[in-house]
Structure 1
Amino acid sequence: MRHVIGKFVWLGLMLATPVAFAQSTSAAKEPPRAVISLYRVAPGKHEAFLKWMADRDAIDKQLGLPRAQWYAHFQGDSWDYVAIAPELSAAQQKKEDDAAKAKGLTTGAKSSIEFRQFIASHTDTVAFGPMSVSDMVTLINTP
């Protein structure tokens, strides 16, 4: 049963992602940036981690900010979740922080410490994208 549910979730994510990230970068000088985060959650902390992240996702939704696309581990490597989100501008980040504070959620250094109670390890990588491979060729050939 678990494998059937996992396959359904994975299929849904695979189908939703291209729609959520469909955009062209050919008109932009600077390509968009995304933050790719891999999470290995501490044993027994998965539900609490997801609820913590869902509270923050709800703020982004409420504010109309770009939201992360989440992937749940099915098989293979040892990560539990991957989130891919557009990089927020300083103004968007401030808007998000102000809304979190208004809802009684932590921000800044305190939030970072709170977050770590759920995590065995994680990495964040800033990347260009999403963009097509043609856009990447244009990017590397632009002086």
Structure 2
Amino acid sequence: MTSRIFKGSLALAALPALIVQPAMAQTPSIDEMYTVTQAKIAPGKYEEALRAQALIERVRAEAGLEPAMMYMHFQGANWALLLIYPPAVDDEDKRMEAAARRLGVELPGPFANHALWSGHQDTVVFGPTTAAEALADIYDD
């Protein structure tokens, strides 16, 4: 059972976010948003992880889907790969499965990366945009 004090603390902790962040008038639907994945590669799995991503890129191309943008870590943060996936299309899964069959390859399962990555973080975002556009959306009548 969660205490009233704990619930009240959570509500108070969330209050600044509600006050500081006004709702944006032009926030797109979830179908228009990108998924950004920061992946940490498991020790000894770097090449295998790149090969798995290359397979996904090949199948996406065969399916006529926009590729993910991939950035590789150079210096700084603790991730190895940054993947930016475009918004999903309605029949994306079916197209990917059909493309994999045409190529004679098997798509990795939904949790296949767990053996290759030591951790990851997914974030759903929209953009690209500018600070000026975001301000205009916030204060648009």
Pairwise TM-score range, normalised by the shorter structure: 0.5 to 0.7
For 2:78 and 2:106, the matched residues in 1 are separated by 29
Q: How does 1:1-143 map to 2 (within 5 A)?
A: 30=28, 32-102=32-102, 103-106=104-107, 111-142=109-140
Report if aligned partners of 2:59, 2:99 keep a CA contact under 8 Å in 1: yes
Question: In the TM superposition, what is the alpha-carbon distance from 1:89 to its structure 2 partner?
Answer: 2.0
Q: Report SS of the residue matched to 2:91.
A: helix
Question: Residues 75-120 of structure 1, C-alpha deviation per residue, up to 9 Å, x if partnerless?
Answer: 111100101121212312331233235533135xxx1232211010
Q: Which moved more, 1:125-134 or 1:97-106?
A: 97-106
Question: In the TM superposition, what is the alpha-carbon distance from 1:63 to its structure 2 partner?
Answer: 2.6
Alignment CA distance shift 1:101-1:114 (3 Å): farther
Q: CA RMSD in A?
A: 2.3
Q: Which runs of 5+ in 1 are unaligned?
A: 1-27
Question: Residues 35-64 of structure 1, C-alpha deviation per residue, up to 9 Å, x if partnerless?
Answer: 100000000000000000100101112232
Q: Which moved more, 1:56-65 or 1:97-106?
A: 97-106
Q: Which moved more, 1:65-74 or 1:127-136?
A: 127-136
Amino acid at match of 2:88: L
Task: With the length of structure 1 as denominator, give the TM-score of the two structures.
Answer: 0.67
Question: Percentage identity across aligned positions?
Answer: 26
Amino acid at match of 2:122: D
For 1:101 and 1:63, the matched residues in 2 are separated by 10
- Paired residues, number: 113
Q: Which runs of 5+ in 2 are unaligned?
A: 1-25
Alignment CA distance shift 1:112-1:92 (3 Å): closer
Amino acid at match of 1:127: V
Bigger Rg, which one = 2
Report if aligned partners of 2:62, 2:99 keep a CA contact under 8 Å in 1: no
Question: Residues 6-49 of structure 1, C-alpha deviation per residue, up to 9 Å, x if partnerless?
Answer: xxxxxxxxxxxxxxxxxxxxxx9837311100000000000000
Give the ranges of 4+ consecutive aligned residues of structure 1 lying more than 4 Å apart after TM superposition. Answer: none
For 2:27 and 2:38, the matched residues in 1 are separated by 28
Q: Report SS of the residue matched to 1:90.
A: coil
